[in-house]
Amino acid sequence: MPTSSLLPKFQRLQECVNQTVIGQERVVEQLVIALLAKGHVLIQGLPGLAKTRAVNGLASNMNAELHRIQFTPDMLPGDVTGGEVYDAHSQSLSFKRGPVFSNLLLADEINRAPAKVQSALLEAMAENQVSVGGITYSLPELFMVLATQNPVEQEGTYPLPEAQMDRFLMQVLVEYPEKNAEKEMLKMLRSERLGTSLDVAGLSVEEVQAAQNLVEKVSVSDAIDQYIVDIIDATRYPEKYSPELASFIQLGASPRAAIALDKCARSYAWLNDRDYVTPDDIRAIAHTVLRHRIALSFTALSDKMTTDKVIDQLLKQVAWV
C-alpha cells in the first residue's frame, strides 16, 4: 500500500505534542489512536503528570474547537449541555449551547461530577447528541471526550458507572516520566517562559475525518476476528483457559470491547503504515482497551494483582492460530 499523504501529518502531530509533553510518548500515541478510531478516552494519573497538558497539546496542533469543563460536585447537567434561556426581547425561550458543543471536550476530573451530570455526558458520548427540553441537538461530526481522573482522591468523588466506563474506547494510564525526560521537561518549561515558540502540526478537521475514513478501510482477516473474539471470551469464561485466571476475573468485557479492539488495532496498523491488522497490533492496544472493562475478584485484589497483570496472563493463555 502506498503511504497515504495524511500519515506523515499524523506522525508530525505526535512529534509536536511530544515536544510539549516530555516523556509521555506512549500516552500521546494512544490519544492519536483514539482520535483516528473516533473514540473517547479516559486519562488516569496522579496530579501533576501532564494529563491536561497532553489534551491541550493535542488540541493546539489541530484546527479544532476545544472546550474544557472543570467538574465539581455542585454541577448541573445544563452546565455541560447548555439549556433554555428566556429572551426578554422576543419573550420566548431559546437554547444556549453548552461546552459539550465542540470538537474536543476536556472533562477535567470527571469523577467529581454527580450522577445526573455524568448521565448527560453519557448521551453525548453514546449518540453524538444531547436532549434538552424534549428537543434533540446534534453534536459536531468530529466529537471526542477526553476525560481525566485522579486515581487516589476519594473525598468528593463519584465513581463512574459501568455503563459510562464502557463508553470510553480506551483508558490511558499516565505514569511518572523517566529521570532524563524530567530533566528535558525542566529545560522545555524554561524555554516556554522565555517565549520560545514550538512547531505546530496544524491538522484540520477535514484531514482528521479523511484519516478516520482511511482507518476504516484497513483490512482485518477472519483469523484476526477470531483472535479478538477469543480474547474477549477469555475475560468472560476464564475457567476455560486457566484456573488461576478464573480466580482473578470477576466480570468480563462487553461486546463493545471487541469493537474497540478492532477499531484501535486498525488505527495502530494505519499509524504503522499498514493496510492490514496483525496479532501484534491487537496485543499492542489490548491493555488500554480492556483495563477498564474487566472487574477483578477479591482474590486478585488481595494478591495485589493489577488489571494489566491479569491481561498479561490472559494474552499468554489465548493462542494465536
**Per-position pLDDT tens, the chain of length 321:** 435 789 999 999 999 999 889 999 999 999 999 999 999 999 998 888 889 999 999 999 998 999 999 998 889 999 999 988 887 787 788 888 999 999 999 999 998 888 888 888 888 998 999 988 888 999 999 999 999 988 765 666 777 877 788 899 999 999 998 999 889 888 888 877 766 656 677 899 999 999 999 999 999 999 999 999 999 999 999 999 999 999 999 999 999 999 999 999 999 999 999 999 999 999 999 999 999 999 999 999 999 999 999 999 999 999 876
* Strand-pair category, 41-45 with 144-149: parallel
Which structural domains are found in the chain, ordered by start? 7-192 (3.40.50.300), 218-317 (1.10.8.80)
DSSP assignment of 155-188: TT--PPPHHHHHH-SEEEEE-PPPHHHHHHHHHH
Confidence (pTM): 0.91
Q: What gap in Å lies between CA 45 and CA 63, rounded to an integer?
A: 27
Residue 209 CA to residue 280 CA, distance in Å, equals 26
Distinct helix (H) and strand (E) counts, the chain: 14, 13
Closest CA to 41 of 157, 158, 148: 148
CA–CA dist 240, 252 (Å, integer): 13
